[in-house]
Amino acid sequence: MNANAIVQKLWRLCTVLRKDGITYQQYVTELTYLLFLKMMAERNREEGNIPPEYRWAALVKAEPLHKLKLYRNALTALGDPEGSLPRMVQAIFDNASTFIREPQNLTTLVTAIDELDWFSEERDQFGDLYEGLLQKNAEETKRGAGQYFTPRVLIEVLVRLMKPKPGEVIQDPAAGTGGFLIAADKVMREATDDYFTLGTKEQEFQKHQAIHGMENVPGTLRLLLMNLYLHDLDSDHVDLGDTLSDKGKTLGKADLILTNPPFGPAGGAPTRDDLSVTATVSSYQLPFVEHCIRALKPGGRAAIVLPDNVLFEDGRGKELRRMMMDWCDLHTILRLPTGIFYAQGVKTNVIFLTRGKTETGNTDDVWIYDLRAQMPKFGKTNHLTDAHFTAFEEAFGSDENGTERGEEQGVEGRWRCFTREEISARGDNLDISWLRELEEEAEEGLIEPEDIAAAIQAHLQAAMLEIEALSAELEETTLAEAPEAGE
């Protein structure tokens, strides 16, 4: 049975557990615990990781009433921070508890997992299976998972264009469930026969040093660690923490950053002392961009998913864009279609940049590809595919630093070049569009209540971001004009 078939079968079991009041996200968390135990048994890795009394075989054999008690005890014991189990096991089961109340429901789930054929003749299916479950969860939940789950097709496009290479440190400071890190590792494995063509030292680096990430939500970190482990990736440099706090400094310098940071209010300004440009900004997206600029090594590159306001916001937003174009070669902006993040009204972009060796004058031209205007409505029933990105990939060219370009298409096309002087004349506003975007007509065509609500919410969020930016700018002006003590 292939991974897709397994995903569909396991997902259908969620309807059984809904009787226990379990949500989709709780179901995926529950599956994470059970699949981890099953995986350890399948891969013969229980020794040293899972005490005998809590192993999969013991759970399968237990009677229904005892099974639920055994399972609850296992979750507590495996996540005990005072225990002697490996860090990865403790992290996955940290503060774990089951949402299942009916013993028969646990029996149904354990039996179904135990009876599935997990392995194809050629390769382990666990990684594909788990990512499939994460994607189903994101598709079903407009909030929660959908906020941090980047569409797989977009991840694969960005990884292809950025060309991760063995020996590079690859970082995602807002790692979510690990999509970017895993996709980058997959590309490098395919290029090196699963790293077998590398020397011993190089193999060790790839398995234990190459991947760096941080995630601020404990429940999401659990899914991230499970995803990494199922893809045979070490998680020593993936940690729980706020990237915008001092802990974010521990991520270190990177050769490549791939990330989709959170959008919206952050509940306060960054607490890191090195984020000087965005020190007073109380939203996520601007400080995360400054982190990426500062975290890149000279010559390092990044692809960052961002909302529209980063491209046009005044005050600190404008100062950040100037820093970005001075310190880096901001060579490409991709205007993404709406609806691809499971919410119709959210407007996003991808910025592609390369860190310069100096901190002045690194951007000469910015190329912009408009994949938003005059595009079909995307959503749950109309998915974005690789084919939608084909023309952009051809225009971007084969060089990851944007030095090989397709021909400029002018005002009638999607691909245009703007000089640094032209951008400066616009007040360093990078929110540039030239094709007519019939947004109003597109929103008039929405019929699903959840899509209509998402469009309204996106408009309100954009308005709130502008209000926050204006408030911050006014506050800075007030502080600057206030007389110093003793005057």
Judge if 209 and 296 occupy the same domain: yes
Residue 332's DSSP bridge partners are 352, 367
Task: Provide the CATH number for the domain around residue 117.
Answer: 1.20.1260.30
Q: pLDDT category, 483, cuts 50, 70, 90?
A: low
Which tens digits make up the pLDDT trace of 178-221? 999 999 999 999 999 999 999 999 999 998 999 999 999 888 88
Whether 475 is covered by a domain: the verdict is no
Whether 482 is covered by a domain: the verdict is no
- Chain mean pLDDT for the chain: 85
pLDDT over 60 (residue 448): no
Judge if 112 and 162 occupy the same domain: no
Q: Do the beta carbons of residue 335 and residue 433 sit within 8 Å?
A: yes
Judge if 222 and 345 occupy the same domain: yes
Judge if 205 and 186 occupy the same domain: yes
Which tens digits make up the pLDDT trace of 106-121? 998 899 888 876 654 3
Give how many domains the chain has, as a whole number: 2
Whether 327 is covered by a domain: the verdict is yes
Whether 465 is covered by a domain: the verdict is no
Whether 235 is covered by a domain: the verdict is yes
Place of tokens 């310098």: 253
Judge if 307 and 267 occupy the same domain: yes
d(Cα 109, Cα 34) in Å, to the nearest integer?
9
pLDDT over 50 (residue 143): no
pLDDT at 377: 73
Judge if 168 and 102 occupy the same domain: no
Judge if 110 and 171 occupy the same domain: no
Judge if 236 and 205 occupy the same domain: yes
pLDDT at 162: 98
pLDDT at 223: 84
Whether 460 is covered by a domain: the verdict is no
Q: pLDDT category, 226, cuts 50, 70, 90?
A: confident
Judge if 436 and 319 occupy the same domain: yes
pLDDT over 60 (residue 487): no
Of 32, 15, 27, nearest in space to 100 by CA: 27
Please state the pTM of the whole predicted model. Answer: 0.84
Which of 132, 152, 176 represents a domain boundary (last residue)?
132
Q: Do the beta carbons of residue 390 and residue 369 sit within 8 Å?
A: no
Whether 481 is covered by a domain: the verdict is no
Task: Provide the CATH number for the domain around residue 193.
Answer: 3.40.50.150
Judge if 123 and 151 occupy the same domain: no
Alpha helices in 48-125 (DSSP H): 56-61, 64-78, 87-92, 103-115
d(Cα 429, Cα 259) in Å, to the nearest integer?
22
pLDDT at 263: 82
Judge if 98 and 157 occupy the same domain: no
Judge if 38 and 96 occupy the same domain: yes
Q: What is the extent of the structural domain holding 429? A: 142-449
pLDDT at 366: 98
Which of 100, 132, 164 represents a domain boundary (last residue)?
132
Whether 485 is covered by a domain: the verdict is no
Q: Do the beta carbons of residue 182 and residue 208 sit within 8 Å?
A: no
pLDDT at 125: 56
pLDDT at 165: 97
